[in-house]
């Protein structure tokens, strides 16, 4: 099977590319390297340095490569930037996705896997854990733009027969997550503390997030290849971990006496969230396998080698 992966040079996308290639698939990567890195890309993948909003170049790639499946990870992913530059955010996340969907229609491509954001889409929870029936009340432009694409997927399924799966990601963490351009608190804290620097906690640190290791997210994408159900799924752990707990876990594993600095809470971020994975477990048999603590150990080993 030939799979076109957008954002395949990024943190999550590059791991997904590796998973597809390990599974025996042919992979084409489209990434403009605005936040991704070419050295993340599997050498067995074919690479095009192209922005998904470039209609002419995307059209050429689709015609030339004729992929069987689109796996869409490319995105403007910064909540703060979406608030400051909502037009840019919508242009990449909504219009860029439409460029891909229009090319699916023109080239008779019938399978689409979409990487959505669970935390940003739902907004402040009315109950926990959040399941897929929870109201979608995003409180950031990023959350709105990411969720909007699901409506277009439904339309393309209903009107044109496109089969899809939307995976709603929690806070994914893992290797290749760059602290300078990724919103990954685990990597940010780990890299800073290994350098002897204080991490910055925005707000009181009691805000909770649902952390899932990147290898579990890869498995969800692999399962989606076999299960085009035309549905959306949370890929959470069902557990909430506070930012303070993240700091204390890393601090303990490093046997460090570093103290965190506190700064003002950031606009557009929710106070607590974690997600039920019952639906994807029932339909795909998926559940996370790497615990938060084990994931932190992997991250610390990775950064120790990087910083040598």
Full-model pTM: 0.96
- Name the catalytic one among 114, 142, 274, 277: 142
Query: Looking at residue 264, what is its pLDDT?
Result: 85
Domain coordinates in residue numbering, the chain:
2-171+212-234, 173-209+239-276+290-306
Query: Looking at residue 181, what is its pLDDT?
Result: 60
Instruction: Pick the closest to residue 236 from 186, 291, 288, 301 (CA basis).
Output: 288
CATH top-level class of 173-209+239-276+290-306: alpha beta
Per-residue H/E/C for the chain: CEEEEECCCCHHHHHHHHHHHHCCCEEEEECCCCCCCHHHCCCCCEEECCCCCCHHHHHHHHHHHCCCEEEECCCCCCHHHHHHCHHHHHHHHHHHHHHHHHHHHHCCCCEEEEEEEHHHHHCCCCCCCECCCCCCCCCCHHHHHHHHHHHHHHHHHHHHCCEEEEEEECEEECCCCCCCCCCCHHHHHHHHHHCCCCCEEECCCCCEECEEEHHHHHHHHHHHCCCCCCEEEECCCCCCEEHHHHHHHHHHHCCCCCCCEEECCCCCCCCECCECCHHHHHHHCCCCCCCHHHHHHHHHHHHHHHCC
CATH top-level class of 2-171+212-234: alpha beta
Dump pLDDT digits (tens) for 113-141.
Answer: 999 999 889 989 999 999 999 999 999 99
Q: Which residues of the chain fall short of a pLDDT of 50?
A: none
Residue 142 catalytic?
A: yes
């Amino acid at each position: 099977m030939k799979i076109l992966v957008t954002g395949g040079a990024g943190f999550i996308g590059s791991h997904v590319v590796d998973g597809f290639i390990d599974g025996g698939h042919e992979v084409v990567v489209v990434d403009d390297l605005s936040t991704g890195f070419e050295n993340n890309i599997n050498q067995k993948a074919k690479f095009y340095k192209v922005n998904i909003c470039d209609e002419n170049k995307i059209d050429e790639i689709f015609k030339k490569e004729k992929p069987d499946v689109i796996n869409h990870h490319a995105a403007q992913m910064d909540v703060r930037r979406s608030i400051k530059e909502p037009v840019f955010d919508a242009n990449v996340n909504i219009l860029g996705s439409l460029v891909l969907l229009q090319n699916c229609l023109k080239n008779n491509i019938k399978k689409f896997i979409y990487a959505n954001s669970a935390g940003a889409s739902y907004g402040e929870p009315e109950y926990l854990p959040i399941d897929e029936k929870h109201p979608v009340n995003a409180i950031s432009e990023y959350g709105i733009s990411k969720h909007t694409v699901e409506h277009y997927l439904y339309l393309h399924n209903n009107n044109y027969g496109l089969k899809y799966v939307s995976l709603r990601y929690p806070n994914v963490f893992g290797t290749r997550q760059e602290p300078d351009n990724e919103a990954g608190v685990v990597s940010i804290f780990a890299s800073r503390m290994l350098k002897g620097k204080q991490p910055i906690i925005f707000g009181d640190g009691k805000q909770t997030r649902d952390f899932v290791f990147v290898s579990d997210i890869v498995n969800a994408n692999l399962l989606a290849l076999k299960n085009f159900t035309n549905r959306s799924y949370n890929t959470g752990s069902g557990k909430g971990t506070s930012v303070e707990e993240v700091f204390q876990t890393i601090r303990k594993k490093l046997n460090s006496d570093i103290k965190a600095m506190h700064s003002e809470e950031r606009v557009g971020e929710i106070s607590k969230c974690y997600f039920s994975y019952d639906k994807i477990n029932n339909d795909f048999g998926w559940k996370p396998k790497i615990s938060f603590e084990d994931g932190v150990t992997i991250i610390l080993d990775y950064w120790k080698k990087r910083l040598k």
